[in-house]
Amino acid sequence: MTTPTTDKVFASSVAQLYETHMVPLIFEPYAVDIARRLAARPVARLLEIACGTGVVTRQLAALPGIAAIVATDLNQTMLDQAKTIGTKRPVEWRQADAMQLPFPDAGFDAVVIQFGAMFFPDKAKAYAEVRRVLKPGGLFLFNVWDRIEDNDFADVVTNALAGVFPQDPPRFMARTPHGYHDVRQVEQDLARGGFTAKARIETVSARSRAGSPQFPAVAYCHGTPLRSEIEQRDPAALARATEVCTEAIAERFGGGAVDGKIQAHVIATQRN
């Protein structure tokens, strides 16, 4: 699957809305889950890749067993947002490309990626980089979204936008965030990246809640690269597209507080 360059671009306005809307809507529960899985593991040095606006970083920085954290992202705007929010203790923030990590071999006890692997243009190459910077026995812990049909708001928004742009539906959510849900493919890519230990894969469901149907509509249409897809089709269509998505969410979940399913795969393996 070819991933358009725009799928990886988070402008400053998108980064802010990502933090205020997408983080509480879908990312926070899985950040807590990632931290819980590391809570009992002593880690001298941890690398986080694709840290975004720091939702996982903040959880990790609260763990006493992790001595040092290096948090990276490809997008400087996301890092700037993360640094503005800050963490409970110092974190080293670095702009870095997962395809060519600027770190020496075997420098980390653990590598964490929350919902970033789907964006890698060559998953096996990125995993090989993760393996390279891990110490022998080091932990690689990451998660990826399950298929879009198991993630309610993303599915409703995608289907609603197909009605707004029937000739060329915006497919960012299905193509990229939810386009890497086949765990057999994940296992194959890990093996191609040099991970020979059997991965432990757990499918984790959670709830996505908001005070109104408009909140998730704004989150997806304004706080992700989906915004670029909408504006590329019609620069004046963003407000109308958001309104249509709001109506679609209200039709399915009601006009007040809304509650939808989210689901992801959590993968853990180690470097032999």
Neighbours of 231 (CB within 10 A): 14
Query: Using one digit for the tens of pLDDT, what is the confidence trace for 114-143?
Result: 999 999 999 999 999 999 999 999 999 999
Contact 131, 193 (CB under 8 A): yes
Contact 170, 226 (CB under 8 A): yes
pLDDT value of position 12: 52
Contact 36, 59 (CB under 8 A): no
Euclidean distance between CA atoms 182 and 27, whole angstroms: 20
Structure tokens at 46: 């941890």
pTM beyond 0.75: the answer is: yes
Euclidean distance between CA atoms 118 and 49, whole angstroms: 12
Paired sense of beta strands 200-210 and 258-270, if any? antiparallel
Q: Which residue is listed with tokens 């019609």?
A: 234
Tell me the domain boundaries of the chain.
5-270
Structure tokens at 243: 């309104």
Provide the b/e sequence for 163-194 (b: ≥16 CB within 10 Å): ebbeeebbbbbbbbbbbbbeeeebbebbbebe
Contact 270, 137 (CB under 8 A): yes
What would the mean pLDDT of 150-171 be, rounded to a whole number? 98
Query: Using one digit for the tens of pLDDT, what is the confidence trace for 4-63?
Result: 554 444 555 789 999 999 999 999 999 999 999 999 999 999 999 999 999 999 999 999
* In CATH, 5-270 is 3.40.50.150: yes
The residues with which 201 forms a beta bridge, in sequence order, are 267
Q: Looking at residue 181, what DSSP letter applies?
A: -
* Residue type at 112 in one-letter notation: V
pLDDT value of position 63: 98
Q: Which residue is listed with tokens 């809304």?
A: 258
Paired sense of beta strands 134-145 and 200-210, if any? unpaired
CA distances from 54 to 37, 84, 162, 266 (A): 17, 10, 32, 18
pLDDT value of position 4: 57
Euclidean distance between CA atoms 105 and 111, whole angstroms: 13
